[in-house]
Amino acid sequence: MRAALRGTAAMVRLGAQSALHFRVNVGISVVGACLQAVLLIVVWRNVYANRQTVQGVGVDIAVQYAILSLAVAHLALPFRLSSLPERVRQGAIATDVIRPIGVTSQNLAHSVGEAAAALPGSVAVLIVGCALDGISAPRDLWAAGFFVLSVGLGLLMAWTMNLTVSMVAFWTTDTRGTFYIYRTLATFCSGAIVPLWFIPEWLAHMLNALPFRLQIFAPLEIWFGQVTYDHSKQLLIQQASWLAVLFLLLHLVARRALRVVVVNGG
Amino acid sequence: MAASTLTALRVLIRLSLATELQYRVNLLQSLIGGAAAQATQLLFIGVILTSFGAIGGWSASEVMLLVGLRMAAHAIYAFFFRRVIDNDRVVHTGEFDRYLLRPVPAFLQLLTRQFNLQQLGDIFIAAAVLGVAVRNASIDWTFGLALFCGASVIGGGLIEASLQTIRAAAAFRLANTDALIGTIDSLVGTYSNFPLQIFGGFASAFFTFAVPLAFIAWAPAAILLNRSADLGFPAEIAWSTPAFGPILMMLAVTVYHLESRHYSSPGS
């Protein structure tokens, strides 16, 4: 057990190191995230123009939502969903398979490490948001605590789904189509680009049945105090239940994938 | 371009097309994926327009024309130039070594390393959106205006291609430019959909003269809609939009070839 934990921690470190190795890239990612934060604030303030509220949502809430969702999405939906497809393509998957911890654990840990390296971008977005009066404190300490827990569970859900989709690399070397479709679904349905308050009701019902909204929208509902204390707890239970289902799905897909693994160049 | 170069180019295109057509299911998936990538921005702007009706004084149908032009320009870029995003991999794996040996310019080899058949998805969705938007917008069409519209779409595509080409050139020194690809995609894909006057004087100037997003769709849309007063610069400059794309692209390709001198082979 201790050896497995040590191995997982090493993979987290490796993920962070491999991302931080390209320092200029990390720097550009931080600058790009800040630029997007500024632009989003300007866009939302301008689309509201002189309106106080639209569909019950005020401009301050919309701006705050845009900043917080950008900060979370920066970690949940990176430009490269996972390093797995590249490792399959290059044949490095052979090394992964012979390591003492499972391929899924390794890759999930790697994603956590990469997200840790992306953390400066998210922090910078929050700083820009505060500097431009775009963020205010949550309703109370409970909301803050539940928010942190909910973001953590949401990120775990996102990384698990990212990795499950990445497994398509075991069947096809060209993963672009699958990735674009998944990214579109995940970005829109999670509320990463537009708050789900503005979605038509019929579509909102459909999105409630999917796990995406629990990745970004649900934590932000808690932050804004738009759900009661009991509802917050229900959301956390829903996230944990979905996470268990997604883990199971990942393991099932991984088991089938590892039966068809081809070691390129091996 | 020498006849031998053209022959080599034809061979490269035929090879990359054959590669794409070999796996039909993958191709279908890629076509849907290409359309889905465009759909993200369409959904974003669609939800905002449904809820707010107008942006920066432009009505929903006017904003949709802007979005249609932007998507059409992106489709031009995606179909002809999308492979520039592969330059990081080409440099890492040493594939660029091969480019140096063949009698075709390295940049053309990069563009033809894979045929962008999947980007037909981008083209279908962009054509549909632009078609509907043109029908709904009130434009006094003349032959000159129609010509300007077509040339602007091509010019807009070349501007996006030039931004990504300069980014690709940076890969020879930086090795990893993922963040830049994402930033350019996001800037062009999301913020070019808005009438840029909403960003205010400084940001509008930045998007006009530093990162020329203004000429991808905003300036052409303002001319078509007779809204050049919103631009903040003379309408004559907006009328010159179709020329900016080719000029910027030529500059970008020159930068790419100059920067390729910093390529160091991984020893493949």
- ipTM reported for the complex, 2 dp: 0.78
Range of the domain at A110: 2-259
The verdict on residue A182 lying in a domain is yes
Give contacts of B200 with chain A, Cβ < 8 Å: 42
The verdict on residue A242 lying in a domain is yes
CA distance A18 to A192: 26
The verdict on residue A146 lying in a domain is yes
Q: Does A44 touch chain B (CB under 8 A)?
A: no
What does the block give as tokens for A166? 């990445």
> Residue A57: helix, strand or coil by DSSP?
strand
What does the block give as tokens for A193? 């680009």
Number of domains in chain A: 1
Higher pLDDT, A259 or B17: A259
CA distance B30 to B24: 10
CA distance B224 to B139: 6
Average confidence (pLDDT) per 10 residues, chain A, 266 residues: 82 86 86 91 85 86 93 85 82 83 88 90 94 86 91 95 91 81 88 86 87 94 87 94 96 89 69
Q: What is the pLDDT, as a whole number, of residue B261?
A: 93
CA distance A175 to B144: 43
The verdict on residue A265 lying in a domain is no
Query: Which phi-psi region, left, alpha or beta, contains residue B50 (left: φ > 0; alpha: ψ -120 to 50)?
Result: alpha
Grade residue B268 by pLDDT with cuts at 50, 70 and 90: low
Q: Does A48 touch chain B (CB under 8 A)?
A: yes
Instruction: Determine, for residues A42 and B200 on separate chains, whether the beta-carbon distance falls below 8 Å.
Output: yes
User: Which of A103, A168, A212 is closest to B30 using CA atoms?
Assistant: A168
Residue B22 has pLDDT above 70, yes or no: yes
The verdict on residue A266 lying in a domain is no
Q: Mutate which of A63, A80, A83, A176 to test chain B, going by most B C-beta atoms within 10 A?
A: A176
The stretches of chain A forming alpha helices (DSSP H) are: 2-20, 23-48, 59-76, 84-90, 93-98, 103-131, 141-166, 176-189, 201-208, 217-223, 229-259
Q: What is the pLDDT, as a whole number, of residue A57?
A: 87
Lowest mean pLDDT among A43-52, B113-122, B198-207: B113-122
> Residue A54: helix, strand or coil by DSSP?
strand
Residue B167 has pLDDT above 70, yes or no: yes
The verdict on residue A147 lying in a domain is yes
Q: What is the mean pLDDT of residues B216-235?
A: 91
Q: Does A17 touch chain B (CB under 8 A)?
A: no
Interface of chain B toward chain A, CB-CB under 8 angstroms:
23, 26, 29-34, 36-37, 39-40, 43-44, 47-48, 50-52, 55-56, 118, 174-183, 186-187, 190-191, 194, 198-200, 203
Lowest mean pLDDT among A127-136, B55-64, B107-116: B107-116
Give pLDDT tens digits for B60-100: 999 999 999 999 999 999 989 989 999 998 998 889 999 99
Residue B1 has pLDDT above 60, yes or no: no
Q: What is the mean pLDDT of residues B168-175?
A: 89
CA distance A70 to A193: 8
Q: What is the pLDDT, as a whole number, of residue B77?
A: 93
The verdict on residue A213 lying in a domain is yes
Q: What is the pLDDT, as a whole number, of residue A152?
A: 95
CA distance B152 to B69: 8
**Contact partners, residue B26, CB within 8 Å, separation at least 6:** A172, A174, A177
Q: What is the pLDDT, as a whole number, of residue B112?
A: 85
Instruction: Judge whether B99 and B110 are in contact, CB under 8 Å.
Output: yes
CA distance B100 to B5: 14
Instruction: Judge whether A110 and A83 are in contact, CB under 8 Å.
Output: yes
CA distance B64 to B60: 6
The verdict on residue A226 lying in a domain is yes
Q: What is the pLDDT, as a whole number, of residue B64?
A: 93
